[in-house]
Amino acid sequence: FTKQINLELETLVSCNHSNIIRCYGAFLEGAQVAIALEYMNLGTLQDVIKKSGKIPEGMLGLIAYQLLKGLDYLHRTKKIIHRDIKPSNLLINSQGEVKISDFGVSGQLLNTQDQRCTWVGTVTYMSPERFLCEPYSSNTDVWSLGLSLLECAWGVFPYPHPGTNDTTHSLGFWEIKEYIVSRPAPPSPPDFSQIGADFIASCLQKDPRQRRSAAELLEHPFIKQFEDVSLQYLEGWLNINQ
């Protein structure tokens, strides 16, 4: 446990990016370690979808653009795989800024082509290669991001397929493994644009050799259209819906 805390602190303190949560230090509070982090007043993306039901495509594009920049920084500059990307680890504030948090199970790479074989992180958002105990690289985070964004788009976890009668029951380990490893990736909502759906499908490419990196996805047409869009649009939507 101490090693995990030290890892998170070392990672947070060493990161300097607008889409990575800032760490201001840590202190002991009795037998507990308190970590002082940048305040994000709306909490997590999980909190947002609990209140709003789902996030529309245009707002999700602004969120995805920021998160891909954060992941690209982690993967290429810091040589880090996060390994636990999920809505509850993605923080947001009322200005529309989105930041990656919780580095307790992150892993270090020598370069972005290196692979790891350890089993850590939240099972629900694991990529197929990690479920199969195969070597994985930084684009395992891209799968987890795609699944997280799709959850925001549907308003519910996308396995089983949203709209079926099975969406409300909680999945056990073997069920979620069956869905992620053996079944087709879940679709985008029917009101998504073609390029939006293609972006999600690119994230949820089951074969890691075919799955794009965060850097490559920053060049995807869906993401490129949000490069110069003001966060004020997302800020306005959040202020109305939160």
pLDDT at 114: 47
Q: How does residue 110 score in pLDDT terms, banded at 50, 70 and 90?
A: very low
Query: Residue 84 catalytic?
Result: yes
Q: How many CB atoms lie within 10 A of CB 242?
A: 14
Active-site residue (options: 84, 102, 114, 228): 84
pLDDT in tens, 123-153: 889 999 999 989 899 999 999 999 999 999 9
pLDDT at 1: 53
Residue spans of the domains in the chain: they are 41-241
Question: CATH code for 41-241?
Answer: 1.10.510.10
Mapping DSSP onto H, E and C, the string for the chain reads: CHHHHHHHHHHHHHCCCCCECCEEEEEEECCEEEEEECCCCCCEHHHHHHHHCCCCHHHHHHHHHHHHHHHHHHHHHCCEECCCCCHHHEEECCCCCEEECCCCCCEECCCCCCCECCCCCCHHHCCHHHHCCCCECCCHHHHHHHHHHHHHHHCCCCCCCCCCCCCCCCCCHHHHHHHHHHCCCCCCCCCCCHHHHHHHHHHCCCCCCCCCCHHHHCCCHHHHCCCCCCCHHHHHHHHHHC
Lowest average pLDDT, out of 46-55, 79-88, 111-120, 135-144, goes to 111-120
pLDDT at 117: 47
> How many Å apart are CA 45 and CA 239, to the nearest integer?
14
Report the predicted TM-score, pTM, of the whole model to 2 decimal places: 0.88
> Across all residues in the chain, what is the average pLDDT?
88
Planar angle of CA 234, 214, 65, nearest 5 degrees? 10
User: What is the identity of the amino acid at 189?
Assistant: P
pLDDT in tens, 156-213: 999 886 655 555 456 788 888 899 999 999 999 999 999 999 999 999 999 999 999 9
Beta bridge partners of 33: 28
> How many Å apart are CA 197 and CA 203, to the nearest integer?
10
Residue 75 above 70 pLDDT? yes
Residue 53 above 80 pLDDT? yes
Stretch 105-112: mean pLDDT, rounded? 50
Beta bridge partners of 108: 80
